[in-house]
């Protein structure tokens, strides 16, 4: 037996506030930091919802503007619009309200302001070492109020799509990390059921890929296993229940999303995420839906490479795992996840999601590039294997 050896780096997240009604604490969070000109970033649906009023009311006079143009896959033009609005009001804070799209829009716009350059033009493959780089002391506080389970609020990474090429890139800077996350399940009640479920699958994908990453650690394994167990127990119930019961289940799902990605900058994520990052903008498929489609196939692929690391996944799923026959247990985990996804009304194949089969090879190169950058798979992966995975998912 060897002693644990490694290194764990924390992000700049300082506080997570959770529970029904906790959005009321937003004003106090701004006040204690001396912030007076915050811009709220949200999308069109929440922009028309009374839930937005709960956010702006909590901010009071500290709300300088509301940007309602955040869109799926974060088109570069929306980031530029938000950047201009933040400059117009001389914003000292940004409040992301919604799912991964408003959160990433806020991050990339903040990167443009902090660096003085158009971050959408510099978004490429991610260098994860950038999550811990030293910065020049300039800051722009980000507070996240999520309404889905995508968990982007827990990372200093922002994704953005080039609208000409439909290729998604990313920016990474420790200052983009939300300093406070407010998980109020009462603000998730208008989230469409399909989106809630799909982003819950994204959280499940975070947990699974953190565990079988060759960068996994004891801490991340433990939290990810608990995340899987919480999602299995509470995600189905969260859309079948109502009232206080629903809020309880939704609150547990929010905790699962946090645990799923707690150490994500350390473990990084694998092939399923790389596939999703390119499937999404190329064919306009929500990222949570891509996880519903790709996760079981990638799990089977990883079961042939690193079956010994599936133990915590099995623990979360309630699958018996014999380390002496790890491959069988790993494959059973993949089957169990596929069965779990099958109960929900979401696309289960690329064909169902509207992807054209003859276009599949077009994303293989950027997917492969991301996998090579992340360095989480034990051996090199080739282009033919990526195409085969996409064919299996079709």
**Cβ proximity of 353 and 347 under 8 Å:** yes
Residues 212 and 172 in one domain: no
User: Is position 142 within any domain?
Assistant: yes
User: Is position 49 within any domain?
Assistant: yes
* pLDDT exceeds 90 at position 110: yes
* pLDDT exceeds 90 at position 93: yes
User: Is position 251 within any domain?
Assistant: yes
The C-alpha atoms of residue 394 and residue 392 are separated, in whole angstroms, by 5
* pLDDT exceeds 90 at position 154: yes
User: Is position 9 within any domain?
Assistant: no
Q: State the residue for tokens 């709300």.
A: 63
The C-alpha atoms of residue 22 and residue 182 are separated, in whole angstroms, by 7
Residues 149 and 298 in one domain: no
User: Is position 8 within any domain?
Assistant: no
Out of 106-115, 120-129, 248-257, 366-375, least confident range:
120-129
Residues 99 and 218 in one domain: no
* pLDDT exceeds 80 at position 109: yes
**Domain end position, chosen among 187, 215, 247:** 187
Predicted TM-score (pTM) of this structure: 0.93
Q: Look up the CATH number of the domain holding residue 150.
A: 3.40.50.1970
The per-residue pLDDT for range 112-138, each reduced to its tens digit, is: 999 999 999 876 665 565 555 666 667
User: Is position 80 within any domain?
Assistant: yes
Residues 155 and 257 in one domain: no
The C-alpha atoms of residue 344 and residue 237 are separated, in whole angstroms, by 12
Residues 159 and 71 in one domain: yes
Residues 170 and 198 in one domain: no
The boundaries of the domain holding residue 59 are 15-187
Residue 219 makes CB contacts below 8 A (sequence gap 6+) with: 8, 262, 263
Residues 37 and 174 in one domain: yes
The per-residue pLDDT for range 182-213, each reduced to its tens digit, is: 999 999 999 999 999 999 999 999 999 999 99
Residues 115 and 246 in one domain: no
The per-residue pLDDT for range 289-320, each reduced to its tens digit, is: 999 999 999 999 999 999 999 999 999 999 99
Residues 124 and 77 in one domain: yes
**Domain end position, chosen among 172, 187, 202:** 187
Q: How many domains does one find in the chain?
A: 2
Average pLDDT over residues 36-65: 96
Residues 343 and 367 in one domain: yes
**In the chain, which residue ranges form alpha helices assigned H by DSSP?**
26-32, 44-47, 50-59, 76-88, 100-115, 193-212, 218-240, 243-261, 264-267, 271-283, 287-305, 311-317, 326-342, 364-374, 383-393
Helix (H/G/I), strand (E/B), else coil: 146: strand
User: Is position 218 within any domain?
Assistant: yes
Residues 197 and 180 in one domain: no
CA R_g for the chain: 20
Residues 48 and 128 in one domain: yes
**Domain end position, chosen among 187, 220, 252:** 187
User: Is position 10 within any domain?
Assistant: no
Q: How many CB atoms lie within 10 A of CB 354?
A: 10
The C-alpha atoms of residue 123 and residue 111 are separated, in whole angstroms, by 10
Query: What confidence score (pLDDT) does residue 127 get?
Result: 59
Of all residues in the chain, the percent with pLDDT exceeding 90 is 87
Q: Look up the CATH number of the domain holding residue 199.
A: 1.20.1090.10
């Amino acid at each position: 037996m060897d002693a644990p050896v490694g290194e764990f780096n924390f992000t700049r997240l300082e506080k997570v506030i959770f529970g029904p009604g906790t959005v009321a604490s937003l004003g106090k969070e701004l006040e204690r930091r001396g912030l007076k000109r915050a811009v709220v970033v949200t999308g069109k649906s929440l922009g028309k919802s009374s839930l937005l009023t709960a956010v702006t009311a909590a901010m009071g006079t500290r709300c300088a503007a509301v940007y309602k143009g955040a869109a799926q896959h974060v088109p570069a033009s929306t980031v530029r619009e938000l950047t201009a609005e933040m400059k117009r009001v001389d914003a000292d804070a940004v409040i992301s309200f919604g799912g991964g799209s408003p959160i990433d829009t806020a991050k990339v716009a903040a990167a443009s302001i902090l660096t003085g350059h158009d971050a959408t033009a510099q978004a490429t493959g991610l260098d994860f070492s950038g999550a811990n780089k030293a910065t020049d002391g300039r800051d722009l506080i980000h507070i996240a109020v999520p309404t889905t389970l995508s968990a982007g609020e827990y990372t200093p990474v922002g994704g953005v799509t080039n609208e000409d090429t439909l290729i998604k890139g990313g920016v990474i800077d420790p200052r983009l990390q939300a300093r406070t996350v407010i998980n109020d399940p009462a603000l998730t009640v208008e989230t469409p059921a399909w989106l809630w479920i799909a982003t819950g699958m994204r959280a499940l994908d975070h947990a699974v890929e953190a565990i079988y990453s060759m960068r996994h650690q004891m801490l991340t394994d433990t939290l990810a296993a608990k995340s899987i167990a919480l999602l299995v127990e509470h995600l189905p119930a969260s859309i079948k229940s109502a009232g206080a019961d629903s809020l309880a289940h939704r609150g547990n799902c929010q905790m699962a999303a946090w645990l799923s990605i707690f150490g994500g900058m350390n473990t990084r994520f694998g092939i399923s995420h790389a596939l999703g990052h390119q499937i999404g903008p190329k064919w306009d498929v929500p990222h949570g839906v891509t996880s519903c489609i790709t996760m079981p196939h990638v799990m089977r692929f990883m079961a042939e490479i690193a079956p010994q690391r599936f133990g915590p996944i099995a623990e979360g799923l309630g699958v018996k795992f014999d380390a002496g026959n790890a491959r069988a247990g790993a494959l059973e985990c993949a089957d169990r996840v596929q069965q779990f996804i099958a109960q929900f009304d979401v696309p289960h194949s690329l064909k169902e999601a509207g992807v054209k089969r003859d276009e599949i090879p077009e994303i293989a190169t950027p997917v492969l590039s991301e996998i090579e950058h992340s360095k989480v798979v034990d051996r090199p992966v080739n282009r033919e294997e990526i195409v085969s995975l996409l064919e299996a998912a079709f």
